[in-house]
Structures are given as structure tokens and as C-alpha cells.
Amino acid sequence: MDDSVYANYPPPLTPEQQEYLVSTVKTWALHHGLCVRPAPTFIDKEKDPQGVLATNAPVTLFPSPFPKSAFEHAVAIQKAYNELYARIARDEAWLGKIIEDLIDADDFVANLWKVHLAVKSEGYVQPLSLGLFRSDYIPHRPPGSAESSLRQVEFNTISSSFGGLSALVAALHTDLLSLPPGNPIAYPPHPILKGNNPPENTAVPTLANGLADAHKAYGPSKFDSPLPLCILFIVQAGERNLFDQLELSTRLATFHKIPVFRLATADIQNHTSIPPSNPSRPLIYTPPHSPSTPFEVTTIYLRGFYGPGDYPNPATWAARTHLERSAAIKCPSVLSQLSGCKKVQQVLADPNADTDHLAHFLPNTDAQTIAKIRATFAPQYDLSTSGRGCELALNPSTAANHVLKPQREGGGNNIYRDAIPGFLRSMPEKDWKGWILMELIQPPEAARNMMLRSDGEVLSRHVISELGVFGTVLWRDDGEIVHNKQGGWLLRTKGKESDEGGVAAGFSSLDSIVLL
Ligand code: ADP
Ligand code: MG
């Protein structure tokens, strides 16, 4: 298919067709749990004092075209990426050198490092760590080049979200492609849609399986009189993206028969304990609704604690340390969380590094796979005051082609293009090293799509899509990789004019894929 098919995609809708499609998507979303809690800007707390409402997650009405070669490239390297980050997280000396450089410029990173040092001085009791990772990409196609290549935006090692809802969006679009059965008309005919279902999305079984394997690897109860075992999801109070998380906990409960509890970060110290006399340090969870039936936590899955906003006071840092020193398997450990720093990605991508970090961390991976990983790196620079990074960032004409990133997760933290020089000049030079500069990825000529937002608004835009590929890895601190799997993906689509891309942050809609 040549580029001209994009020009009339998606197929235009009459008002009646649009009304049918939008109302089908709205009801499908509520029917299947493709939902979020409404934002307070949409339904304020006074109108929903009991918190009973849910609305559709922001979704595209059509699947978006995505280059097949780029998709296959991303899937093919995920297991090697899993291993790479598992090996970085267990190399405290290598990681520590990078982190120590960030410490004076970034309090959040400094506090995480302190948690690690405190637990290290006492001694870790759990040799296993779990990663539920997501590697994010945008296809790169600068003007004049014939094909898109795959470029990594970032690698997520904590709270990698939307596995649950993205699998539902793939199911939604697949259903729309065949509605009504036998004579589909939900979508007007279009060559891009013809016989082209979204690829299978196994994010939910893959992620749940990673957690279940960790649960099994924990072994029997370490408590004096053995307790039943459970997995604990650590969550943010008032989480709007609850339904995404429930896809995983429901799968764990119904398919794997593993009890799962949700505990808000502020309640950790009230409802969990480590018996002081037990050198194995089992983490005991006492459900407030059933204090007589305590559980022992095998695995802690963090869907909070990824940013400074999750640590409003010293007690929350104490709670993080309490979890970290316990025998529960952490998803992720503090070291694994830190390995996801943007600075680590910049160091890996440095073509002038003294040592070949990829070859060092992946000695058993074939050269071709390593080359495929390297090919996903966009140029990135540190901001040590005399270096190339500063030159590029301070000059408005080169800054225009870059994004400035702090060591943060969750969206909305970056500085783009012409805002970069002034932003840097407004902060003390000693703090620059807390940021990295990255060349902007240039997506192909934007296609169009329509988006149904959570407040019911329908937007039609030129869009840019960002692919995430999920992977799970369980490793021991002696280097043994116990489990390493790839499975499932996420497509997020945003208006072309928007720099940022988070769904939860309000910039993107969940989407699925037609491979071209
Ligand atoms: P966060 O950890 O906050 O999600 P990201 O690195 O993913 O940080 O950046 C947020 C968004 O900014 C991305 O989802 C993407 O849309 C955009 N972005 C980040 N880096 C680049 C880049 N190099 N080129 C183009 N867009 C980018
Ligand atoms: Mg991101």
C-alpha cells in the first residue's frame, strides 16, 4: 500500500454513522470494563461523593496504522531488553556510579538511593526481583526517507501501565471490524481495514503470569506458623486507572487462584508488619476487613511510589524502606526502579562510551540482536557544563530538535524545543546534570484518527502513535534469569500538535493497531 491510502483514513463518517460508532464504543467500554474513574474536572467530587461513577477510557474510534516492520522489530528485542535491565539492576556498582552523579541534582533519586543503602547495610533477605517492563517507541521517519525505523522513547521499569486496557481496546476494535457479524458495517469500507484485525494482545496473561511465577518462586511461608500467601498491589489513593489494574488482579485470582489485595501507599504501615524476631523478615498483611486472617506477601506490585508526589512525608519513605527490607519479591526493587532513570538510557545510548555496555551486560546475546537494540537509540546527551549536550540545548536553533527530560515517570515532566534554553538558564548550572537532552523522534507524516475522550467529547485530528511492548523478567541476585517473556503491547495516540503522550496525564487516547 502506498502513502496515498493514509490520505483518506479513517473513512469519512456521515453524522448517523458517527453517532452509531460513538454510542457503540461508549456502551462497549462500560460493558467490558474499558473504563476509568471520571476526572474531577469532568465530574466534581460533590456530584459523586461516594465515588461510584466510571466512564469510558479515552479511546480512538478506529485502530491506527503502524509499520509492521517496526512492530516486529520491537517485539523481537523485548526479551533481550528485559535481560539488559535485569542485569543493570543487579549491578549495583555500575548503576551506583550513574546514580551518585544525579544525587546532588535530584532529591527524589537521592532518597531512593538512601532506601537502597539502608537496606543494603542491614542486608537484603530476598534474592529474587521481578520486572514488569514496557519499552516505548515512536517510528522515526525524517522527511525524505522512504521507510520508518524504530526509535525508543523510554524504557519503563516501574508501574508500566495500560496492559489491561490496551488488550480491551484491541478487542473493541476487533469487534467493530466484525459488527454486525456476517455483514460488518460499523466501519465504512476502507482498504486499510480490509481483513486487517489488530495483532493478538496477550498483555494480561503475560503480566499476570509474571506475577504468578514470582509468587510461586517465593516458596513456602516463612512465618513461624505458616500463613496463607498473597500478592499485594501497592496503589495510589483515588487511582483513576483502577480498571486497568483490575484486569491483572482478576486474572491472578480467577486463573492462577492467587489471593490479591490492594493497599494504598498511605496505609502500608497500618496494615503490614515484619515480625521483629524473624530473621527471614516475612511481610505480613492483615486485611482491615478481616483482622483474624493475616496473609504473608510473596510479591509486591507497585502501581504507585514512582514519583515524588507519592512521598508526601517522611512516613511514606519509611513505608518504602519497610517494603524493601521485607522478604517479599519486589516488582520493582529500588535498584530496578533506578535502572529506569532516563540517565541510564542516555548512558546506554552513548556512541562514545569507553566500554560497550550492551556487549558487557548481554554477553550471551547474538550480535544481530544487540545491533537491533542499538538501532532503537535516539541520540541523547548529558548536560555536563562543557559538553556537546549543553551546546545543543542552549542554542535555540538546535534546541528546536530536542526534548529535555528529568529523572521522572508518569508524563508531563519534559521540556520541549524552544523552551529548553530559557528553562536551563533559569536554574542553577549545578542542577543541569539531573536532566538529559534527547533528539526528537520524527514520526511519519501523520495519519488521522478520531478520539472519544472520557468526558464524551469526540475529536478528529492528525495523530501520532506511540507503541509500548510489554515484557516480564524474574531474576536472582546471583545473575540467574528464572523467567523471561515478551507478550502484549500498547498503542497510545495523541494529536500531532501535542508534545507529551500520557493517557493518564490526559494527552493521549488508547488505541490499537492495523499493521501495514
Ligand atoms: P515519562 O516517563 O514522563 O512518560 P517519556 O520519556 O515517555 O517520559 O516522555 C513523555 C512523552 O514525550 C512521550 O510519551 C512522547 O510522546 C514524548 N517524547 C519523549 N521523548 C521523545 C522524543 N525523543 N521524541 C519525540 N517525542 C518524545
Ligand atoms: Mg512515557
Side-chain-side CA neighbours of residue 497 (13 Å): 2
pLDDT at 422: 98
Determine which helix (DSSP H) or strand (DSSP E) holds 448, and give its type and residue range: strand 447-452
With beta carbons less than 8 A apart as the criterion, state whether 421 and 394 touch.
Answer: yes
Out of 134, 153, 376, 416, mutate this one to test ligand 1's pocket (max ligand atoms within 8 Å of CB): namely 153
pLDDT at 2: 56
307 assigned to a ligand binding site? no
List, by residue number, the catalytic residues. 134, 154, 156, 161, 342, 405, 409-410, 492
Smallest CA-to-CA distance from 420 within 387, 443, 397 is with 397
Summarize pLDDT for 243-301 with one digit per residue, the tens. 999 999 999 999 999 999 999 999 999 999 999 999 999 999 999 999 999 999 999 99
For residue 441, which atom of ligand 1 is closest to its CA?
Answer: 24
> Which three three-digit cell numbers place residue 498?
501535542
Query: From ligand 1's centre to the CA of 313, what distance in Å?
Result: 29
Out of 136, 138, 141, 437, mutate this one to test ligand 1's pocket (max ligand atoms within 8 Å of CB): namely 138
Residue nearest to atom 17 of ligand 1 (CA): 500
503 assigned to a ligand binding site? yes
Cβ-Cβ contacts under 8 Å for 386 (sequence gap 6 or more): none
CATH code that applies to domain 380-438 = 3.30.1490.50
| Measured distance CA(345)–CA(101) in Å, rounded | 15
Residues touching ligand 1 (Cβ under 6 Å) are 136, 138, 153-154, 378, 403, 405, 408-411, 413-414, 438, 440-441, 466, 500-502
- Whole-angstrom CA distances from 394 to 52, 219, 349, 423, 453 are 49, 54, 21, 9, 37
Residue nearest to atom 16 of ligand 1 (CA): 501
Summarize pLDDT for 380-419 with one digit per residue, the tens. 999 976 789 999 999 999 999 999 999 999 888 999 999 9
Give the residues of the chain that fall short of pLDDT 50: none
161 assigned to a ligand binding site? yes
240 assigned to a ligand binding site? yes
pLDDT at 374: 98
Determine which helix (DSSP H) or strand (DSSP E) holds 452, and give its type and residue range: strand 447-452
The radius of gyration computed from the CA coordinates of the chain, to the nearest angstrom, equals 23
Max CA distance (Å), the chain: 71
Residue nearest to atom 8 of ligand 1 (CA): 411
340 assigned to a ligand binding site? no
pLDDT at 447: 86
Side-chain-side CA neighbours of residue 342 (13 Å): 25
Residue nearest to atom 23 of ligand 1 (CA): 440
For residue 405, which atom of ligand 1 is closest to its CA?
Answer: 6
pLDDT at 149: 95
pLDDT at 402: 98
Helix ranges restricted to H, 255-405 = 268-271, 314-325, 334-339, 342-349, 357-361, 367-374, 388-394, 396-399
| Measured distance CA(258)–CA(250) in Å, rounded | 9
For residue 443, which atom of ligand 1 is closest to its CA?
Answer: 25
pTM of the model: 0.97
| Measured distance CA(251)–CA(25) in Å, rounded | 24
- Whole-angstrom CA distances from 18 to 32, 63, 317 are 21, 15, 49
Task: Tell me whether residue 419 is exposed, middle or buried, using C-beta atoms within 10 angstroms of its C-beta: 0 to 12, 13 to 18, 19 or more.
Answer: middle
Residue nearest to atom 19 of ligand 1 (CA): 153
Between strands 481-495 and 508-511, the pairing is antiparallel
In the chain, where are the structural domains located?
A: 3-378+454-515, 380-438
Out of 109, 135, 151, 154, mutate this one to test ligand 1's pocket (max ligand atoms within 8 Å of CB): namely 154
